[in-house]
Amino acid sequence: MEWFWPEGFLTVLMVGGFALGAFALKLPIAVAMSGAAILGAVAAGFSLPVRHLVEGMFGYLDTILIIASAMIFMKSVERIGLLEGMAAWMIRKFRNTPLFLGFGIMLLIMFPGMITGSSTAAVLTSGALVAPVLVRLGVPSLQTAAAIAMGAIYGMIAPPINLPAMIIGGGIDMPYVGFGLPLLICTVPLAVVTALILITPHLRKGAGDEASLEAELSRMERNPMSFRLFLPLLVLVVLMGGERLFPKVWPGLGMPLDFLLAAASGLLSGVRWNPLETATEAVRDALPVMGILMGVGMFIQIMTLTGVRGFVVVSALAIPAWLLYFSIATSMPLFGAVSAFGSASVLGVPFVLALLGRNEIIVASALSLIAGLGDLMPPTALAGIFAAQVVGEKNYFKVLKHCLVPGLLTAGWGIAVIYGAKAIAGILY
Q: CA neighbours within 13 Å on the CB side: how many for 230?
A: 7
Alpha-carbon distance of 291 to 289, in angstroms, equals 5
Establish if 303 belongs to a structural domain.
yes
Q: How far is CA 291 from CA 10, 58, 209, 294, 416, in A?
A: 24, 11, 43, 5, 33
Torsion angles phi and psi, residue 301, rounded to 5: -60, -45
Establish if 241 belongs to a structural domain.
no
Q: Are 328 and 419 in contact (CB under 8 A)?
A: no
Establish if 250 belongs to a structural domain.
no
Weakly modelled stretches of the chain, pLDDT under 70: 1-5, 204-209, 338, 379-380
- Residue span of the structural domain in which 210 resides: 2-223+271-428
Establish if 280 belongs to a structural domain.
yes
Burial of 23 (0-12, 13-18, 19+ CB in 10 A): middle
Q: Are 41 and 306 in contact (CB under 8 A)?
A: yes
Establish if 233 belongs to a structural domain.
no
Establish if 263 belongs to a structural domain.
no
Establish if 236 belongs to a structural domain.
no
How far is C-alpha 129 from the chain's CA centre? 19
Say if residue 160 is preceded by a cis peptide, omega within 30 of 0.
Answer: yes
Q: Which is it for the CA torsion 265, 163, 424, 178, positive or negative?
A: positive
Number of domains forming the structure of the chain: 1
pLDDT attached to residue 257: 92
Say if residue 379 is preceded by a cis peptide, omega within 30 of 0.
Answer: yes
pLDDT tens, 372-419? 998 898 866 778 888 998 898 888 899 999 999 999 999 999 999 999
Angle formed at CA 163 by CA 157 and CA 169, multiple of 5 degrees: 105
Q: Which is it for the CA torsion 397, 398, 403, 407, positive or negative?
A: positive
Burial of 361 (0-12, 13-18, 19+ CB in 10 A): buried
How far is C-alpha 265 from the chain's CA centre? 26
pTM of the model: 0.82
Alpha-carbon distance of 34 to 14, in angstroms, equals 10
State the CB neighbour count (10 A cutoff) for residue 119: 33
pLDDT attached to residue 3: 42
pLDDT tens, 122-167? 888 888 888 988 888 889 999 999 999 999 999 999 998 898 998 8
Percentage above 70 pLDDT, the chain: 96
Residue 374's closest CA among 336, 404, 346, 341?
A: 336
Establish if 231 belongs to a structural domain.
no
Angle formed at CA 145 by CA 369 and CA 372, multiple of 5 degrees: 15
